[in-house]
Amino acid sequence: MRSSPAARQWAIVSAGLAPILLTGTYLIAGIFQPASYSPVRTTISVMAGQAGTDRWIMTGGIVLVAGCYLVTAAGLTGVRAPARALLIVAGLAGIGIAASPEPARGATPRHLAWTVLGAVTIAVWPAFAAGRTSPRPLVLSVYGSAAVFAALLGWLFIETRDGSVLGLAERLTSSIQTCWPFIIAVALRRTRRPRHGLAIGGSGGANDGATARAGARGRRQDW
């Protein structure tokens, strides 16, 4: 038996890049917005929408984060298939958000659908991935992850009802959500999955068994 990493090194790199890219792009894109734009009250989607100034910056950041999700999903071999599939869906949702920018006024049903799909998928993803991490701190357990993301989504939902800090709630929620795959990847990197293989310098289990039987016969003859 040999062991293989439960999280590939390049998956950890891509997972770590996701929150850096998201935070970096919305900070940079915010510099180019007019003075009337408030990052505390206004969402990230506005900067990537048709009313945004230099919206390609935020749009490119969303696409890059979505690509990081897809790469991370391919390299997290230590989580169950449903967890990897959900991460892929979250990546595709990010591409869908970038491909359907928010209009100058209001929001299109397609943009809202991709946004809700991405938010819900990445919110429930930790509950599917947490069960395979070892060791499992409380915050990485199923119940711990559910508590964290339920609180964040609850706050975000309240702010969508004419709240005064919707932009802040979205940024904080998005930043924590994009950090979670990296946290899970690092936790998985500490574990190794067993993998069948031949021992170096030997020919496998059959010869090992024959060697053991020959040694036992030799000991009986000496006795």
Q: Tell me if 164 sits within 8 A of 41, measured CB to CB.
A: yes
Give which of 101, 116, 113 is closest to 47, Cα–Cα: 101
Tell me 39's DSSP state.
T
Q: Tell me if 169 sits within 8 A of 3, measured CB to CB.
A: no
- pLDDT 10s digits, 83-97: 899 999 999 999 999
Model pLDDT, residue 119:
83
Model pLDDT, residue 220:
47
- pLDDT 10s digits, 133-143: 455 555 566 67
Pairwise CA distance, residues 185 & 66, whole Å: 17
Side-chain half-sphere of 13: how many Cα atoms within 13 Å?
Answer: 3
Model pLDDT, residue 110:
92
Pairwise CA distance, residues 142 & 124, whole Å: 10
Pairwise CA distance, residues 178 & 199, whole Å: 40
Domain ranges of the chain: 2-222
Pairwise CA distance, residues 44 & 173, whole Å: 12
Model pLDDT, residue 212:
46
Per DSSP, the three-state class of 195 is strand
Q: Phi then psi for 136, rounded to 5 degrees?
A: -115, 95
Angle at which helices 81-99 and 56-75 cross, to 10°: 170
Q: Tell me if 96 sits within 8 A of 45, measured CB to CB.
A: no
- pLDDT 10s digits, 117-128: 988 888 888 878
Q: Phi then psi for 27, rounded to 5 degrees?
A: -75, -45
Residues of the chain short of pLDDT 70, as ranges, are 1-5, 130-142, 190-223
Max Cα–Cα distance, the chain, nearest Å: 95
Model pLDDT, residue 192:
55
